Amino acid sequence: MKATTIRQVLIEPLNIERTEPFIIAIGTKHRIENVVLTLVLENGVEGYGEAAPLEPINGENQATVLATLNSCRDFLLGQDVTQFMAIARQLKQVFWAQATARCAIEMALLDALAKSLDIPLYQFWGGAEHELETDCTISLVPAETARRQAEQLAQAGYRVLKVKIGKNVKQDIERVLAVNEGAPSCQITLDANQGYTPDQAVYCIRELERLGIRPALLEQPVTRHDWMGMRFVREHVSPPVAADETVFTGDDAIQVVRTGCADVINIKIMKSGIIEALDIAAIARRAHLGLMIGCMLESVLAMSASVHLAAGLGGFRFIDLDPHPPTASEPFTGGPRFVEPVYTLQDDAGLGVFRKA
């Protein structure tokens, strides 16, 4: 039996109450309801993976992820993590629609492998960078709240604020103006989360520019399959347009390139899994599209995986990995050191994340 063979598979729900609800155009989340996968190898190494499903985005939730992972348990037992690519491809053929569950498996395989090799995961992926500066997100809150949050975030050191829009153009513009007033030195990026029609998106951006605000990015202005609508927006506004919900797979990334509907692709490991995220990054890079990395509602575990990925590959222009405030119910600690707004990669092997004692 090889030292890197999986001898135990542990699957557990991960529930974390949030101090502040997270509101975007498609719904509100009050708690994190994720799943943790632990792979124990013959050499005693534990590899950790996390799935952070968000139903309206990827059609998965905690119950479906638990079911998917449980049905993978027997397949994973006895596998050798040095063959992570073969394992991931086989699972993709069967569970092609469960990218979030597969993400947890790929994360745990890679964490276990890198730990067995005794190198940090970002170095396994290339070690291109060792620091990442993230933005911080202001959700669909009233303008006055947004102004206060912007002030606090600028004071905390953030230089890029991502403002959620896409529900009501008038209120959206008020919110963005308030953020700009609260944090005049911060760059503003916008995320409509598919909430606008093409016309509304163009109107919103033009109106903001008329009022003296030039956003650094407009993310997912229109519904995910409206490639031509997104191209229309891109052709009629000056900020770069990012495709987020439009891109879950490498095929989607190719479609972005073919249709010319976006300047930037937002990669999230919970949309594509980790292995496919590597494909998407390669397609974007070769097509001279900008790279962005984003997140769902992850604990420090999965967040660390995204930090390692972006730092390891390098060249990500937009970093949207703002962590939620840590709470006592968070079971993991460690990972890249985070001092607002910068992540610094550490020397610990794998993800460098540890289970709290």
**19-27, 58-66, 79-87, 187-195 -> range binding Mn ion (CB under 5 A):** 187-195
Non-local (6+) Cβ contacts of 349 within 8 A are 114, 115, 117, 118, 119, 120
- Measured from the CB atom, the residue of 244 and 348 that comes closer to Mn ion is 244
- Measured from the CB atom, the residue of 244 and 298 that comes closer to Mn ion is 244
Q: Which of 172, 244, 252, 276 binds Mn ion (CB under 5 A)?
A: 244
Backbone angles phi and psi of 9, in degrees to 5: -125, 120
Q: Which of 60, 172, 191, 298 binds Mn ion (CB under 5 A)?
A: 191
Q: Which of 322, 312, 355, 303 lies closest to 114 in space, CA to CA?
A: 312
Give CA separation, 110 vs 105, 213, 220, 352, in Å: 9, 42, 30, 12
Q: Interior CA angle at 322 toward 318 and 324, to 5°?
A: 165
**3-11, 22-30, 188-196, 349-357 -> range binding Mn ion (CB under 5 A):** 188-196
**31-39, 55-63, 92-100, 186-194 -> range binding Mn ion (CB under 5 A):** 186-194
Identity of the residue numbered 64: T
**47-55, 191-199, 250-258, 301-309 -> range binding Mn ion (CB under 5 A):** 191-199
Tell the residue number behind the tokens 């052709």, with chain if given. 235
- Measured from the CB atom, the residue of 115 and 164 that comes closer to Mn ion is 164
Query: Minimum distance between the CB of residue 141 and Mn ion, rounded to whole angstroms?
Result: 17
**81-89, 217-225, 306-314, 344-352 -> range binding Mn ion (CB under 5 A):** 217-225
List the structure tokens of 160.
């890029």
Site string for Mn ion, 140-179 (x = CB under 5 A): ----------------------------------------
Report the Cα–Cα distance between both ends of the chain, in Å, rounded: 30
- Measured from the CB atom, the residue of 121 and 230 that comes closer to Mn ion is 230
- Measured from the CB atom, the residue of 60 and 245 that comes closer to Mn ion is 245
- Measured from the CB atom, the residue of 294 and 350 that comes closer to Mn ion is 294
Site string for Mn ion, 48-87 (x = CB under 5 A): ----------------------------------------
Query: Minimum distance between the CB of residue 126 and Mn ion, rounded to whole angstroms?
Result: 25
- Measured from the CB atom, the residue of 60 and 191 that comes closer to Mn ion is 191
Q: Is 322 in the site for Mn ion (CB under 5 A)?
A: no
Q: Which residues bind Mn ion (CB under 5 A)?
A: 191, 219, 244
